[in-house]
């Protein structure tokens, strides 16, 4: 079957197998930030935006993205770099494997709710597993980033 979609702002038309997963589609298109962890919707590593909403690309068929816009971390470089610096500052990044998924979901949260409480942050990121840390560094990084935005830091 043929699908047509926008991937990080670029139109892509391609023949695909009907059972191709979105994670495999975007990786075949060079978006290697999208990682394969559990493949059972449990770790958040494969998060992409489908029309601005975070979805787990290991659980979505590429065919579902037909006619829609898909964004990966490669398409969010500016936001990701700005926020990622706050995570790095807190020493939260250890092996870094969970980082792209975590950053995608944090950006989605900030877009949806620019002033989340700690509970809301924890709830939103509950689907992102990190094997190296206790999530404290990531939370501190998120709070520091939000404080910076309140002080007028530009996106
Ligand atoms: S690989 Fe998709 S949620 Fe873990
Ligand atoms: S820093 Fe290693 S999995 Fe999160």
Q: Is 24 in the pocket of ligand 1 (CB under 6 A)?
A: no
What digits encode the pLDDT tens for the residues 84-103?
Answer: 999 888 877 788 899 999 99
Q: Which domains does the chain have, with CATH numbers?
A: 2-74 (3.10.20.30), 76-150 (1.10.150.120)
Lining residues, ligand 2, CB within 6 Å: 93-98, 130-133
- Give the helix/strand (H/E) hosting 102: helix 99-112
Q: How confident is the model at residue 154 (pLDDT cuts 50, 70, 90)?
A: low
Q: How many CB atoms lie within 10 A of CB 113?
A: 12
Query: Cβ contacts of residue 20 below 8 Å, gap of 6+?
Result: 61, 62, 63
H-run or E-run covering 54: strand 53-56
């Amino acid at each position: 079957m043929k699908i047509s979609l926008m991937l990080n702002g670029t139109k892509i038309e391609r023949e695909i197998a009907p059972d191709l997963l979105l994670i495999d589609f975007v990786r075949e298109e060079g978006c290697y930030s999208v990682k394969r962890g559990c493949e059972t919707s449990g770790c958040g590593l494969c998060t992409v935006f489908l029309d601005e909403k975070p979805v787990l690309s290991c659980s979505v068929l590429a065919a579902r993205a037909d006619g829609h816009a898909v964004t990966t971390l490669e398409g969010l470089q500016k936001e990701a770099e700005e926020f990622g610096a706050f995570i790095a500052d807190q020493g939260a990044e250890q092996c870094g494997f969970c980082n792209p998924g975590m950053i995608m979901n944090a950006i989605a949260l900030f877009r949806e709710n620019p002033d989340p409480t700690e509970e809301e942050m924890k709830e939103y990121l509950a689907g992102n597993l990190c094997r190296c840390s206790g999530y404290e560094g990531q939370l501190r990084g998120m709070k520091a980033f939000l404080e910076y935005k309140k002080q007028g830091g530009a996106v």
